[in-house]
């Protein structure tokens, strides 16, 4: 990614934001460090696995309930 170096003394440069061709460009550094970002991704994956396990359990219980209602 090519980063443009802007002169902070220009009038359209404020705290890492500047206007280029009528659009607001964000040149601020990311708010999280790489380690913090990796930790949040790991937490999201773990939560997703838990949610999927609960959803599969509910689906399995519903399938068993439907199977018991069938008459052979």
User: What does pTM read for this prediction?
Assistant: 0.51
72 residues of the chain, pLDDT tens digit each: 455 555 555 556 677 788 888 888 888 887 888 899 999 999 999 999 999 999 999 999 999 999 988 866
What is the per-residue DSSP string for 7-60? -TTSTTEETTEEEETTEEEE-PPPSS-HHHHHHHHHHHHHHHHHHHHHHHHHHH
Quick one: pLDDT at residue 6?
Answer: 55
């Amino acid at each position: 990614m090519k980063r443009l170096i802007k002169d902070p003394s220009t009038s359209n440069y404020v705290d890492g934001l500047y206007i280029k061709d009528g659009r607001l460009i964000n040149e601020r550094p990311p708010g999280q460090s790489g380690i913090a970002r990796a930790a949040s991704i790991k937490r999201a994956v773990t939560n997703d696995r838990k949610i999927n396990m609960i959803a599969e359990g509910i689906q399995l219980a519903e399938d068993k309930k439907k199977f018991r209602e069938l008459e052979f």
